[in-house]
């Protein structure tokens, strides 16, 4: 508490640089709260790794300043067959960071490597729109039958199983990035685990990586569009504690910091504070491989026992919105009404009813033949905000249910591993959209999806998602997605908490730093430092 008071005092006395502040070099000093676990685009699954890949690599398309797909390695828009199944891309003249050309073979290799069952890519299903992709990934087909082929160094032919409304969007995603076969094979199991264990074709290169401490990017002189890249160097410190972040910011060692709840009031009048609407949905997953959480009344009781409004207004204080469902408000109503959002058409409000929660809890215990509940382990990240929010949930379940909840705060990489291996009772989870469509959230909870950490299993839900993915009638597809989400929440497969907004502050000399609710959290391709020149 003493360190917190001192840090808050420092904020109050050291805040608020003027709006015309400048810096004499194109160098930024930023902060990340977690170590990037893996920069292999076939295996990466986390927001930090995706941010690094989004700034150091480039696919056929990349997201622009408005989070819309624009040409990347593709030199022009593809030729698309009349049935929208065959897409033929022509690659621009581009080089890897070691000077070798980027070719269509790099894309074919990377996509098929991600689909290879031996790679064990959790995002392999992202490539399932390709003809033959699912069959190959599930051991029922061959790589030769997958619908991606380099016709020559500059021409890539892609054949789809069926038309999908968001194909161009998903081509911006990390799993669709190219990879160099010679580099992957050179480093083997160590590929992409160090800064010099891969090559780059994006605006920057990862020039240094001190694990669990820091990492650095420098401008990539070989990047085809390097003329628009102004930053010469970006340095990140990995700092989990927000008081330490703020201290570093106020003493000039950082040009940016996130703000957890205890610092928001101190910075509320600073014109350099801003909201990060990151598009993510946060929820609790319950380990349904365990008999206790297989009971629907127990799951519903946990959901009804949590006051989400108090959680976002009194604990996080960042402007997050209490959620009663999975899909966040900014996701568009794909193929139905481009002027409306999915949540405009599908209303599902958060529910808080401690009396009903207590009743269902007791009924669930009785059905399980228990006089009292077992101790419950809540697993989440070891950063300041996550700890505060888990403590609130712990207290809510104690007061409203009489539950004994033990918090286990672990590093980000370990939280991902524990979720993957079901080493939890309750898991504090979040998901950010990979493309702008409800399916980027809804297909997470099919029984065969590796990101379904709680192992929710309902054949009806699986069938609704399958039909929606295959349905060329976009109105029917929308209705199938709506039914699926309503089923997911009615059975309390997860406990929705909030749609996240974060608060942060940056130095006024940072210009054109674009944040996105889709894909990589932010891009620095167009960012610059106002040097006053």
Interval 390-432: pLDDT, tens = 999 999 999 999 999 999 999 999 999 999 999 999 999 999 9
pLDDT at 16: 40
pLDDT tens column, 481-505: 999 999 999 999 999 999 999 999 9
Beta bridge partners of 34: none
- Which residues are CB-contacts of 510 (< 8 A; sequence separation ≥ 6)? 28, 255, 256, 527, 528, 529, 530
Helix, strand, coil percentages in the chain from 3-state DSSP, rounded to 5: 35, 20, 45
pLDDT at 117: 97
What's the rounded Cα separation, in Å, for the pair 116 and 133?
A: 9
Question: Helix crossing, 354-367 with 384-401: angle to 10°?
Answer: 70
How many residues can be counted in the chain? 533
pLDDT at 52: 98
What's the rounded Cα separation, in Å, for the pair 502 and 385?
A: 10
Coil, strand or helix at 429? strand
pLDDT at 1: 28
pLDDT at 9: 35
pLDDT at 339: 84
pLDDT at 74: 98
The reported pTM is 0.86
pLDDT at 125: 93
What's the rounded Cα separation, in Å, for the pair 270 and 296?
A: 47
**Residue located via tokens 């051991």:** 139
pLDDT < 50 regions, the chain:
1-19
pLDDT at 199: 98
């Amino acid at each position: 508490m003493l360190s917190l008071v001192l840090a808050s005092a420092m904020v109050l006395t050291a805040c608020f640089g003027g709006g015309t502040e400048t810096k004499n070099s194109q160098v930024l000093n930023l902060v990340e709260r977690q170590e990037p676990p893996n920069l292999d685009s076939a295996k990466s699954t986390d927001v930090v790794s995706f941010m690094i890949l989004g700034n150091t690599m480039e696919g056929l398309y990349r997201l622009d300043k408005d989070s819309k797909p624009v040409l990347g390695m593709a030199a022009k828009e593809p030729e698309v067959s009349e049935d929208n199944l065959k897409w033929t891309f022509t690659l621009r003249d581009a080089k890897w960071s070691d000077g070798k050309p980027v070719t269509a073979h790099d894309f074919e290799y990377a996509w098929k490597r991600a689909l290879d069952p031996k790679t064990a890519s959790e995002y392999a299903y992202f490539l399932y729109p390709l003809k033959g992709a699912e069959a190959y990934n599930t051991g029922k087909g061959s790589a030769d039958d997958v619908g991606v082929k380099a016709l020559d160094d500059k021409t890539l032919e892609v054949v789809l199983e069926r038309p999908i409304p968001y194909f161009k969007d998903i081509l911006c995603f990390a799993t669709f990035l190219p990879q160099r076969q010679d580099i992957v094979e050179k480093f083997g199991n160590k590929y992409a685990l160090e800064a010099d264990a891969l090559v780059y074709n994006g605006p920057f290169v990862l020039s240094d990586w001190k694990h669990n401490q820091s990492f650095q990017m420098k401008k990539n002189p070989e990047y085809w569009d390097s003329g628009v890249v102004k930053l010469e160097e970006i340095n990140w410190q990995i700092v989990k504690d927000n008081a330490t972040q703020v201290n570093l910011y106020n003493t000039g060692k950082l040009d940016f910091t996130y703000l957890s709840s205890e610092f928001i009031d101190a910075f509320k009048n600073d014109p350099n504070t801003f909201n990060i609407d990151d598009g993510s949905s946060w929820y609790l997953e319950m380990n349904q491989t365990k008999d206790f959480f297989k009971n629907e009344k127990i799951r519903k009781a946990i959901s009804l026992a949590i006051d989400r409004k108090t959680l976002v207004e009194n604990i996080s204080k960042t402007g997050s919105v209490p959620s009663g469902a999975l899909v966040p408000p900014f996701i568009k109503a794909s193929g139905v009404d481009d002027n409306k959002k999915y949540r405009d058409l599908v209303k599902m409000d958060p529910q808080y009813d401690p009396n009903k929660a207590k009743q269902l809890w007791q009924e669930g215990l009785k059905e399980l033949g228990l006089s009292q509940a077992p101790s419950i382990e809540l697993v989440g990240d070891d950063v300041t905000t996550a700890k505060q929010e888990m403590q609130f949930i712990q207290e809510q379940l104690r007061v409203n249910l009489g539950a004994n909840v033990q918090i286990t705060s672990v590093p980000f990489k370990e939280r991902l591993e524990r979720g993957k291996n079901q080493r939890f009772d309750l898991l504090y989870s979040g998901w950010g959209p990979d493309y702008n469509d409800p399916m980027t959230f809804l297909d997470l909870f099919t029984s065969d999806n590796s990101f379904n950490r709680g192992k929710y299993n309902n054949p009806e839900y699986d069938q609704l998602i399958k039909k929606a993915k295959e349905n060329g009638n976009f109105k029917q597809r929308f209705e199938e997605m709506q039914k699926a989400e309503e089923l997911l929440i009615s059975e309390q497969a997860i406990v929705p908490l909030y749609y996240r907004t974060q608060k942060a502050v940056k130095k006024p000399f940072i210009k054109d730093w674009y944040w996105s609710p889709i894909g990589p959290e932010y891009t620095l391709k167009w960012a610059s430092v106002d040097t006053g020149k």
